[in-house]
Amino acid sequence: MRTSEADGFNHIYKLSFDGKSEQITKGNWDVIEFYGIDEKEGQIYFSAAQKDAISKGIYRINLDGSVISSISSETGYNEAEFTTGMKYFVKTYSNANTPPVYTLCDNLGKEISVLEDNIKLKTTLSGYNLSKKEFVKFQSGNTTLNGWMIKPVNFNPNQKYPVYVTIYGGPGHNEVSDSWDGNDYLYHQLLSQKGYIVVSVDPRGTMYRGSAFKKSTYLQLGKLETEDFINTAKELQKLPYVDPNRIGIQGWSFGGFMTSLAMTKGADYFKMGISVAPVTNWRYYDNIYTERFMRTPKENETGYDDNSPINFVHLLKGKYFLIHGSGDDNVHYQNSMEMINALVRANKQFDLFIYPNRNHGIYGGNTRNHLFTMMLDYTLENL
pLDDT tens digits, one per residue of 37-72: 999 999 999 999 999 999 999 999 999 999 999 999
What Cα–Cα distance (Å) separates residue 233 from each residue in 251, 351, 355? 15, 23, 31
Active site residue 332: no
Q: What is the pLDDT of residue 90?
A: 98
Q: Do 189 and 331 reside in the same domain of the chain? A: yes
Give me the pLDDT at residue 74, please.
83
Instruction: Tell me, yes or no, whether 222 and 352 share the same domain.
Output: yes
Percent of the chain surpassing pLDDT 70: 100
User: Do 110 and 169 fall within a single domain?
Assistant: no
Examine the domain organization and report whether 376 and 252 are in the same domain: yes
Within this chain, do residues 112 and 236 fall inside the same structural domain, yes or no? no
Q: What is the pTM of this model?
A: 0.96
211 and 144 in a common domain: yes
Q: Is 328 a catalytic residue?
A: yes
What's the rounded mean pLDDT across residues 96-104?
A: 97
Q: Which residues pair with 165 in a beta bridge?
A: 199, 249
Instruction: Judge whether 314 counts as a catalytic residue.
Output: no
Mean pLDDT of the chain: 97
Of the residues 121, 137, 155, the one at which a domain ends = 121
Shared domain check, 82 and 133: no
Helix (H, G, I), strand (E, B) or coil at 200: strand
Nearest in space to 180 (alpha carbons), one of 80, 99, 119, 79 = 99
Q: Are 95 and 76 in contact (CB under 8 A)?
A: yes
Burial of 70: CB neighbours in 10 Å, binned 0-12, 13-18, 19+: middle
pLDDT at residue 238, as a whole number: 98
**How does pLDDT run across 363-379, given as a tens digit for each residue?**
999 999 999 999 999 99
**Total number of domains in the chain:** 2
The C-alpha atoms of residue 205 and residue 212 are separated, in whole angstroms, by 9
CATH assignment at residue 78: 2.120.10.30
Question: What are the phi and psi torsion angles at 337 (to 5°)?
Answer: -60, -40
| Residue 240 near residue 157 (C-beta atoms within 8 A) | yes
If asked whether residues 58 and 147 sit together in one domain, one would say no
Same domain, 116 and 132: no
Which residue is catalytic, options 253, 260, 275, 336? 253
Distance of CA 112 to the CA centre of its chain: 33
Catalytic residue among 260, 328, 332, 336: 328
Same domain for 259 and 275? Answer: yes
Residues 135 and 249 in one domain: yes
- Residue ending a domain, choose from 99, 121, 143: 121
Is the domain of 305 the same as that of 373? yes
Structure confidence at residue 361 (pLDDT):
97
Read off the pLDDT of residues 331-359 as tens digits, 9 standing for 90 and up.
999 999 999 999 999 999 999 999 999 99
Range of the domain at 83: 2-121
Which of 104, 121, 138 delimits the end of a domain?
121
Residue 73's pLDDT band (cuts 50, 70, 90): confident
CATH code at position 176:
3.40.50.1820
Cβ neighbours of residue 228 under 8 Å, at least 6 residues apart? 138, 140, 143, 145, 169, 201, 203, 204
